[in-house]
Structure 1
Amino acid sequence: MQKFLFLLLTLVLLGPLGIDLYLPAIPAIALGLNSSESVIQSSISLFILVLGLGQLIAGPLVDRYGRRPMAIAGIFLYLIGVTIAATSINAAMFMGSRMVQSLGVCCTSVVLFSSVRDRLSGDDAARAYGFLNGTLNIVPALAPLIGGLIAQYYGWRAPFWALLGYTLVVMVLVLAFLPETRPANTKAVGSLPLGQYFRILRDGNFLAFALVNAGAMGMALTYVSLAPTVLMSTGGLSPLEFSLVFGANGFWIMLMSYIANRIIRKVGRPVCLATGAILMLMGGAALFAGLALLPVAIQLETWVYMLPVASACAGLAFVIGPATSYALEPYSKEAGIASALVGFVQMAGGAALGLVAMALPLPPKASLAIVMLTAFVLAWTAKRRSKTVKSTISKLN
């Protein structure tokens, strides 16, 4: 099972690598394509938007054609997208490449969730989702620094060529080792299953647990979007110092995810949801307290921002695995469709929450604090819902 999870990990990294590896090269990309930085920056939002919507289509395809074929198709699309990005001659071509890449990640993301649900349930599934979520946080910890160094010495196209090489390796591993895990009794559909989507969304438990992921995603997007303004433009950090602080937080999330995965069998999913909710509450409250109580000069200190962020991000690490496993647990016969809905709610809901918060006429720290408190409410609501769900534990095999 560990080899299986590590193989899935190579797939899950395609998403964050597609976002984080080229972040430091955005000014160079804009200059090279004779475009503005704001246009190139918007490719991140476009990537996430397509990722959320595309999973609604990928879900039934994964149930109809199987996990392995759709994983291969997703990687193939991703290869095309990366190649177009590396050879782009204008901004429109570059933006199109990001859409193709995102469509590839739609397939691999649904395959990931579905494959775990095929093999595991209960606390074991929560541990697997938490492992995948926690380990991928090494990407925002290291990818911007690595991508920046590659771009500095070899030009802005080089990070995409490097990503192409990684994707080819993933393709070889998937072709050689990824098994088909789709259960024989999976319900396959021939068209977009709107009826099934609406039926699952009407399940109050499913929606409550899926919205936990939306709150966590909204918090992460808001933090990533506002961190350069808070830490560099206002806080005075250099790009290198920012990369180190940003990377340290990524390792922190990975550590917290490891701890959560180690203790979930002992304390159970409801306790993990409650712990995560409280940590996010503490983060939001600390940001508001800093704005209200600290002198302006002290508010500019990096620790005043990053300690509350660290608390909330630790909370994120505790809630993702349990929430995802609770949401998917009842849908073993339609795991692809249910996984697609989880991804859609997470991406679309998180993006909407982040955009609304950033549009508010508030200081960046206050906007982030509001999202943290919203994530707390969603996680605490899910914790209360978990009392009505029977917990199951499956063996690792």
Structure 2
Amino acid sequence: MARFLFCSFALVLLYPSGIDMYLVGLPHIAADLHASEAQLHIAFSVYLAGMATAMLIAGRLADKAGRQPVAICGAIVFALASVLCANATTSSLFLAGRFIQGTGAGCCYVVAFAILRDTLDDRRRAKVLSLLNGITCIVPVLAPVIGHLIMLRFPWQSLFWVMTGMGVIVCLLSTLVLKESHPGTQASQYSAQPLASESLTSRFFISRVIMTTLSVTAILTYVNISPVLLMEVLQFDRGEYSTIMALTALISMVVAFSTPFALTRFSQRTLMLVAQGLLFAAALVLASASSNAVMLFGLTLICSGFSLGFGVTMSQALSPFSQRAGVASSVLGIAQVCGSSLYIWLAAVSGVSALNMLIGSLISCSMVCILLITFVSARVDAPDHEKIPG
């Protein structure tokens, strides 16, 4: 069991590392490639586009060929794309490398969640996904710091050589440590009953797709508008901005690590409702904030609400699937990436202010999710201490 958890965590961490580690070198990359920073800022969107593209096929491949081959291929693609970025001489070549990098990360991301669905029951999966969420909260803080330390002595290309090394390590783990977990690989054919009951169009699954997409939209909106909100609206300098982001990430991590303990006392439904209540409270606080301190309190509510509810909701979404966990993971990933990107783009081109963009995402997320939690219930929902063995 430990090998599956360790490999799943490693597979997931490629995704945020690929986003956050290179940001500190962006001015140097722009200068060397004779491009503006504004032009290279689309590297974030290009990376997400690569992830979404890979997710279209990675889940189905993982269900047919197995988890391990897709994980290995994804890690290899990520490593080779990192080499391409490190050797890029033009902005077009760099952006192409970022897109391919995203495809590799997308394959690994999908497989990681499918593995956790294969190997963990509902109760343990909800706890592990909460822990995984806590660990990923560390990456946006540590990755830029590590990148800064690297660039104190080495050029920006070294950032992508480090990512290359990460891809190689994940490939070795997937080859030597990870064992195939997909139950279909141990039988000549899928049984008809699981496939018949594993519908991607079921009301329950669609409700959880909507909930996770809205939650990711809320947190990515916060991350996306945070520089404008904190440095331009609230007038914090770069050092203060970095400190605030680090502290909010720490709060996210603490809440995520505390969620498994909360699941032993409270039902999943209760925690999910509390999480959405925190997001709604955050919207009210931000809308009525009269000082910087109150505004910062609202931001901590966002991080707390997301960390408390996201892992549990993802676990519920994957719960109905055994043979088709890969496809289900793909649908979730595509919806989250595309849904959040579409909202942020539409709000930006519509001229909505950064603060109103954030408040709008929080209100829509909390209200819709509360309705879905209330009217579309999970089959497994009691706290651990109330469950009857067997």
CA separation of 1:91 and 1:70: change in aligned 2, threshold 3 A: same
CA distance, structure 1, for counterparts of residue 40 and residue 187 of structure 2? 41
- Cα–Cα, structure 1 residues 33 and 62, in superposed 2: closer, same or farther, change >3 Å? same
Q: Unaligned stretches of 5+ in structure 2?
A: 190-194
Matched residue, 2:303: 313
Distance 1:242 1:153 in 2: 25
Paired with 2:79 and 2:96, the residues of 1 have a C-alpha distance of 13
Q: After superposition, where does 1:1-397 map in structure 2 within 5 Å?
A: 1-184=1-184, 200-290=199-289, 294=290, 298=291, 301=292, 303-387=293-377, 389-391=379-381
Name the CA distance, whole Å, in 1 between partners of 2:200 and 2:322. 16
How many equivalent residue pairs? 378
How many Å apart are 1:138 and its aligned residue? 0.4
- Look up the SS of the partner of 2:183 in the other structure: coil
Residues 242-270 of structure 1: CA distance to partner in whole angstroms, max 9, x if unpaired? Answer: 22221221121111111112211321210
- Structure 2: how far apart are the matches of 1:223 and 1:145? 20
Q: Matched residue of 1:266: which SS? A: coil
- SS of 1:333's equivalent in the other structure is coil
Identical pairs, percent: 26
- The separation in 1 between residues aligned to 2:186 and 2:350, in whole angstroms, is 44
Cα offset, 1:52, TM superposition: 2.2
**Residue type matched to 2:344 in 1?**
G
Give, as a single letter, the amino acid of the residue that structure 2 aligns with 1:162. Answer: V
Displacement of 1:205 in angstroms is 1.2
Aligned partners of 1:253 and 1:317 also within 8 Å: yes
Deviation string, structure 1 residues 301-338 (Cα, Å, up to 9, x no partner): 3x343321110111111221221121111121211111
Cα distance 1:378–1:135, how it changes in 2: closer, same or farther (>3 A)? Answer: farther
Greater shift after overlay, 164-173 or 328-337?
164-173
- Specify every segment of 5 or more residues in structure 1 that has no aligned partner in the other structure, as ranges: 190-195
State the alpha-carbon separation in 2 of the partners of residues 186 and 386 from structure 1: 34
Task: Output the CA distance in 1 between the equivalents of 2:371 and 2:228.
Answer: 32
**Cα distance change, pair 186–356 in 1 and its aligned pair in 2 (3 A):** farther
Q: Which amino acid aligns with 1:230?
A: L
2:265 match: secondary structure:
helix
CA contact (8 A) 2:203 2:376 kept: no
Structure 1 residue 240: deviation in Å? 2.9
Q: Deviations over 1:334-386 (max 9, x none)?
A: 11111111111111112222223333433311211111112212321332145
CA contact (8 A) 1:19 1:44 kept: yes
What is the distance in 2 between the residues matched to 1:386 and 1:79?
A: 41
| Aligned residue identity for 1:342 | L
Classify 1:289/1:235 alpha carbon distance in 2 versus 1 (closer, same or farther; 3 Å).
closer
Q: CA deviation at 1:102?
A: 0.7
1:60 & 1:186 partners in 2: Cα distance?
17
Distance 1:386 1:264, change over 3 A: farther
Distance 1:273 1:108 in 2: 27
Q: Any idea what the Cα deviations from partners look like across 1:4-35, whole Å, max 9, x if unmatched? A: 31221111110000000111222221111111
Mean Cα displacement is larger for which, 55-64 or 349-358?
Answer: 349-358
Q: Deviations along 1:123-158, whole A, 9 cap, x unmatched? A: 221112211122111001211222133234322222
> Is contact 1:78–1:102 with CA below 8 Å preserved after alignment?
yes
Distance 2:115 2:73 in 1: 16
TM-score by length of 1: 0.89
- Bigger drift between 353-362 and 162-171 goes to 353-362
Label 1:33 to 1:179 Cα distance change in 2 as closer, same or farther (>3 A).
Answer: same
- Provide closer, same or farther for how the CA distance between residues 70 and 157 of structure 1 changes in structure 2, counting only shifts above 3 A: same
3-state SS of 1:179 partner: coil
| Structure 1 residues 27 and 210: alpha-carbon distance in aligned structure 2, compared to 1, 3 A threshold | same
Deviations 1:30-60 (A, max 9, x none): 1111111122111111211221232121111
User: What CA distance in whole angstroms lies between the structure 2 residues aligned with 1:13 and 1:334?
Assistant: 23
* Residue 163 of structure 1, CA deviation: 1.8
Change beyond 3 A, Cα 1:102–1:119: same
